[in-house]
Structure 1
Amino acid sequence: MTAVLKSELLAERLRLRKKIQSGGAPQGIVTSLAIQKGEHYVLSRYEDDVWILPDDWFSANVVVSQRKLDFARIQSPALRSEAKLVMFRQMWGVTDASSSLRGSTLGLHFNNLCYWIEWLTGLRTVTHADVTPLLAQRYVDHVRSLKSRIGEKKSLAPATQQQRLAAVEMCWKNLRDTPLGFDHPWPDSSATALAGLKTHRKPSTPIIPEEILAALFQYAESQLERAGELLDHRDALNRLALKSMNRTDQAKEKGQFLAMRGWSDGLQAYHKALLTLRDSCFLLILTTTGIRAHELANIKRDNWFSEVREGERFYFLGSRSDKTYAGETQWICPEIAITAVQVLGRLAEPLQEELDQALEQATAIGNYREAGRLNGISSHVSLCKINQRSAIINVLSGNALILRLQMLTDYLSLDWKLAPHQFRRTFANHVVHHKLGDLRYLRDHFKHWSLDMAALYAFNEAQDLELFDEIYRAFDEKRQSIIGHWLEPDTVISGGMAPYVREMRSRNETVRTYKNRKEMIHAISELIYLRSTGIAWCTNDIGVDCAGGQCEECEHGCIDDTHKPFWRGLYLQQIELRQIDDCGVAGSETVERTIRRCEQVLRDLGVNIEELKERIADVEAV
């Protein structure tokens, strides 16, 4: 193992850059790991065929095997040398300081570079200097001909095609000022255009259906409620002095001990229950915070706090965000998310003890890379072992999280392909529905979002600002959808605002003012404040002159066909109240007045009142 001072490292990297630019045979340190007292442990040199990448370039949930660039994959020595040049420049921003890559993104670019070079090798092309636009176009045709899986007829997804073609552009950018440079592969186009991708696309991530999320959340919550019992069993098992020497007899002892404590399902079922508890905690946190999978993996025990504002307690969960290099970030969350983090912390205690011992051993023998890795994941609540027989401790990988969440979904017989990234968009959708008064399930867990979002962010500016932006986008989409529905010529509406909406529909010149109807809806929705009163949409943005629930008469209230079930239910309820004899004069007058209100709104919404009355009469006769 080689250790160098930071000053030596920087000087050698500078020499390496100059050597690359001059066209000589490069040699020098490519990657290193900071250890102590300004020293760095050398991970890789330029001349190595495998470049080990620093652990702190990756999210904690990326497996160790993916933290390297293996140039031995490239058969041609010349093209292998050129690939190193491209990746070094891309890693350290030699060509463009703003485009330096790190972590899994770097690995993705390298994989796509290997696909490109493998294709060149098959054509017996020995250097990038021989690449022409015609040759590059042949690669475009090749990528378009590839299938997503062997034996399938489906082509690669456009995003995957774009990544394959972007590797060619990456080579052009990083080699153009060297003797290996070549003309732009497609002078009048780009990888994005050739892959058929639009520059502005609607989010492709699906929102988890409410019935699916409700079933998952209810099950996860039920598991959280039994956490104390399961963990008490675990702690008692760890204190148990085993009499047997072999594993089989030890397992029997543990099973009998659990049975004495009231767990009669056996040791294997108990271990499975602990895993299910862990996965349930992950699901609860993802659902109620909107954090990403790698941010979930970066959560450490006790990295949360709460404070009381105006009589209301607010909870904040902390973690590290790597996607936008935001670093330490916080998320406002309900108490159940904090409870889940606390349970995860207690679940990870035995593994944390093992990690501390392994860290001490690695430090003692000078294994700085392993010590650095273990120190980087210490105190994380998602600690796990790669498999039951492995002694290697890591945090749960992204792929493993996907698998575990899908296992929960399958166990509940839910027809949905669940993935961690779906929770963020689903979370934003739930916040919007809550702010519009239209969130039924999980309403209590989102009550803190009733406040203005600017005020919520002002509480703590260390929060995930990008998540707030995503919520704003979701709110704009929902608002445009609602207002666009109002402006449809066949949408039935009622309320004091209805005449103004109908007048806007009839203005032909309004449409001509904008490029198209979509642009018109976007422009109009930007000017309209919108919230739900439960019985109507309210556009009153000043908080005064409220009609006090008389939305059908208020100039700010618009009632569309989505409110029809409520008004129908209210009407049927009032018909029942009419049959009560002891309501008094005032009560009877209120009932009659409410019946007239309901009938007017329902008529506006296209309901045949006389036919409805006949059906009610038939039911009462029965």
Structure 2
Amino acid sequence: MKGLRTFCRYAASLRLPSLADLQPLHLANFVHLQKVAGLAPSTLTSKFLVVELLHRFRDEHKGTLPFHPWPESSAVDMAGGTMTREADARKVGLTPLIPVEVAQILFRHAEGILNRAEELLDVRDRGERSAFRDPEITAIRDACFYLIGVLTGMRSSELSSIEVGAGRSETKSGITFHWLASIEHKTKTGAVEYLMPAMGHRLLHIMERWSAPLRKRLAEQIVTLERQSGKRTAEELQWLATARSNRNRLFLGIGRSGIVPVTATAWGRNLKQFARAAGTDWDLAPHQMRRLYAYTFVRHRLGDLLFLKEQFKHSSINMSQLYSANPLQDLALYDDILTELMQYKTKVVAQWLEKDEPLAGGAGRKIMELRAHDFKNRTELIAETSRRVNMRSTGHSWCLAQDEGCGGSGIYAKGSCSTCHNGLIDSRFVPVWQEAYRHHKELLTDAEALGPGAMKRVNEDLAKAAKILTDLGIDPEQGEEDAQSTTG
């Protein structure tokens, strides 16, 4: 029953009325937390079996788990006790992350193709270009594939399953969500929906138009075979069944058996060619788009990037809120995001605990004092700290408040983070504080005309910026000169 106590403590930390209020994402988080604790597969299996029992005896008590915790799987599989699960984990762990500078090049290249798509399709529809063998026309499909992949986190098999009319929008609490329907094949979930930015509707429109000639030819081939008299062979029946299931698909190509959705192997070749056409030598592969999505999601959630601002409408996002917005979403995608989140946080915390890493802010000073202690297992310390510490970026500092903290006032009064016991400033934010120091020096002239009160405030903020830069090992005046020479 030790496993039951662990799970109930976890459920209690969520402050839910009862176990009946748990959502699939909560269970995914529980599994993730147990795994990162470094427990053996046998121990994990015993913990997860208890969760299955709560579902099995759901009829005995209305306050227990109303759904199976991991459909199409088992406690043993979730614990990593099968070879398939371990192989998948190794594959995900080895997926290289597309570098930011390469991702920018690829995105701009795809956007450039997208901006010419309507014009090229007009030419094609006038019969001046081939609908089936023109490289520039085919490039439209590959660009849309890449863009939808990095903007939704869909796998290549799910992208190839997108059909006509797959996009929809809905408004909840004044926020418009855009959804993209597909079929999830890997875990046999079936119909799922992915959150997409408003741009996704434009991509779907172009793909519906792009695929129209292929879908038309496929429909004609189906009709021709259906009208043939006589007994059909097993091969013909198989082709007919497959063709009927593909007739509304968008990402089509021409294979040995005719018009079919592009396979994962073919996408591997297409994306490498797409990357070369963009002018990079990066070895682009389909699953890297999902990894880039998870990485970007995490960076956005922690405030470093606002790449997903249009998509999620908020400067920070709670994944459980996102999941509750649509229970048909792919849970495995959120599991990938959680893994990426832990890896990123672990890297940040590891940097903080480096002996010579300068830190500023109240929390920064505490962590520098913490380094003086001797810990038996530094790796476990970093992992445990990463898991327990709530990290948020204000754009100029890390906020480690485990409650509401200052309520967000530090976002606007950045100087307050320098003395706040929840504030931590590391080398990532040096350029921000160099610019703040330069800006406040410029304000001194204006403040003098406004009176003593303005002068006092500007001087206080200038002193705070100078102290932070000094604590981070930067000479404020030298930093200003470097910044000016760089911009000059």
Q: TM-score range by the shorter chain?
A: 0.7 to 0.9
Identical-residue share of aligned pairs (%): 30
User: What residue in structure 2 maps to residue 279 of structure 1?
Assistant: 142
Contact 1:385 1:393 (8 Å CA) reproduced: yes
Distance 2:242 2:91 in 1: 38
Q: How does 1:115-514 map to 2 (within 5 A)?
A: 203-237=93-127, 254=128, 271-365=134-228, 366=232, 367-386=236-255, 392-439=258-305, 441=307, 443-445=309-311, 447=313, 450-508=316-374, 511-512=375-376
Match of 2:61 in 1: none
Equivalents in 1 of 2:94, 2:352: separation in Å?
26
In structure 2, C-alpha distance between the alignment counterparts of 1:453 and 1:558, rounded to whole Å = 24
**Corresponding letter in the other structure for 1:495:** G
Flag the 1:236–1:371 CA change in 2: closer, same or farther, 3 A.
same
* Distance (whole Å) between structure 1 residues aligned to residue 223 and residue 133 of structure 2: 31
In 2, Cα distance between equivalents of 1:491 and 1:270: 56
Alignment deviations for residues 291-337 of structure 1 (CA, whole Å, 9 cap, x no partner): 11111111111122111122221111111111111111111111112
Corresponding residue for residue 399 of structure 2: 538
Query: Which residue pairs with 1:571 in the alignment?
Result: 437
Contact map agreement 1:571 1:599 (CA 8 A) in 2 = yes
Quick check: 2:447–2:454 contact (8 Å CA) kept in 1? no
Q: Which runs of 5+ in 2 are unaligned?
A: 1-71, 75-82
Computed over aligned residues only, the root mean square deviation of the Cα atoms, in angstroms, reads 3.1
Taking the aligned partners of 1:353 and 1:268, their CA distance within structure 2 comes to: 11
Amino acid at match of 2:172: R
In structure 1, distance between residues paired with 2:483 and 2:327: 60
Equivalent AA in structure 2 for residue 284 of structure 1: L
Q: Which residue of structure 2 aligns with residue 592 of structure 1?
A: 459
CA 518–283 in structure 1, closer or farther in 2 if over 3 Å, else same: same
Higher Rg: 1
Unaligned runs of 5+ in 1: 1-96, 100-165, 171-191, 238-253, 256-266
What is the SS of the residue equivalent to 2:93?
coil
CA pair 458-285 structure 1, distance change in 2 beyond 3 A:
same
- Whether the 8 Å CA contact 1:321–1:327 is kept in 2: the answer is yes
Please give the alpha-carbon distance, in whole angstroms, between the structure 2 residues aligned to 1:362 and 1:459: 44
Q: Which amino acid aligns with 1:203?
A: G
Q: Measure how far apart 1:441 and its partner are.
A: 5.0
Q: Note the C-alpha offset of 1:539.
A: 1.3
Q: Aligned partners of 1:483 and 1:236: how far apart in 2?
A: 59
CA 1:408–1:579 in structure 2 vs 1: closer, same or farther (change >3 Å)? farther
**Distance verdict in 2 for CA 1:449–1:380, change over 3 Å:** farther
Question: Using CA pairs below 8 Å that are at least 6 residues apart, which structure has the higher relative contact order?
Answer: 2
Matching residue of 1:51: none
Distance 1:537 1:612, change over 3 A: closer
Q: Determine if contact 1:383/1:393 at 8 Å carries over to the other structure.
A: yes
CA separation in 2, counterparts of 1:610 and 1:236? Answer: 64
- Equivalent pair of 1:314/1:448 in contact (CA under 8 Å): no
Report deviation, 1:198.
Answer: 12
CA distance in 1, matches of 2:137, 2:424: 51
Change (3 A) 1:447 1:414: farther
2:309 and 2:315 in contact (8 A); partners too:
no
C-alpha distance in 2 between matches for 1:202 and 1:348:
31
Residues 444 and 459 (structure 1 numbering): CA distance in 2 closer, same or farther, change over 3 Å?
A: closer
Secondary structure of 1:308's counterpart equals strand
1:132-176, CA deviations, whole angstroms, 9 ceiling, x for partnerless residues?
A: xxxxxxxxxxxxxxxxxxxxxxxxxxxxxxxxxx9xxx9xxxxxx
Q: CA deviation at 1:465?
A: 0.4
**SS of residue in 1 equivalent to 2:286:** coil
* Residue 503 (structure 1) shift: 2.8
SS in structure 1 at match of 2:362: coil
Change (3 A) 1:584 1:279: same
- Answer yes or no: is the 8 Å Cα contact 2:405–2:422 preserved in 1: no
Q: Quote the offset at 1:517 in angstroms.
A: 0.8
Q: Verify the 8 A CA contact 1:434 1:446 in the aligned structure 2.
A: no
The alpha carbon displacement at 1:208 in A equals 0.5
Deviations 1:485-532 (A, max 9, x none): 212221111112123212322222xx13xxx21111111222211110
The whole-number CA distance in structure 1 between the counterparts of 2:237 and 2:160 is 23
Confirm or deny: 8 A CA contact 1:362 1:368 kept in the other structure. Answer: no
Q: 1:465 to 1:564 in 2, by over 3 A?
A: same
- The answer to whether the Cα contact below 8 Å between 1:498 and 1:558 also exists between their aligned partners in 2 is yes
Distance 2:312 2:449 in 1: 38
* Matched letter for residue 212 of structure 1: V
Q: Which amino acid aligns with 1:310?
A: S
The Cα of 1:591 is off from its aligned counterpart by 2.4
Task: Work out the CA distance in 2 between the residues paired with 1:273 and 1:199.
Answer: 37
Greater fraction of residues in helix: 2
- Measured in 2, the distance between the counterparts of 1:270 and 1:372 equals 26
Number of aligned residue pairs: 394
Rate the CA distance shift 1:304–1:200 in 2: closer, same or farther, 3 A: closer
Q: Report the equivalent of 2:41.
A: none
Change (3 A) 1:616 1:501: closer
Q: Cα distance 1:545–1:340, how it changes in 2: closer, same or farther (>3 A)?
A: same
Question: Contact 2:218/2:243 (CA < 8 Å) preserved in 1?
Answer: yes
Q: CA offset at residue 206 of structure 1?
A: 0.6
In 2 relative to 1, CA 397–471 (structure 1 residues): closer, same or farther, beyond 3 Å? Answer: same
User: What do residues 352-386 of structure 1 show as CA deviations (whole Å, max 9, x unaligned)?
Assistant: 11111211222334332121010121200012223
Normalised to the residue count of structure 2, the TM-score between the two structures is 0.74
Letter of the 2:237 counterpart: Y
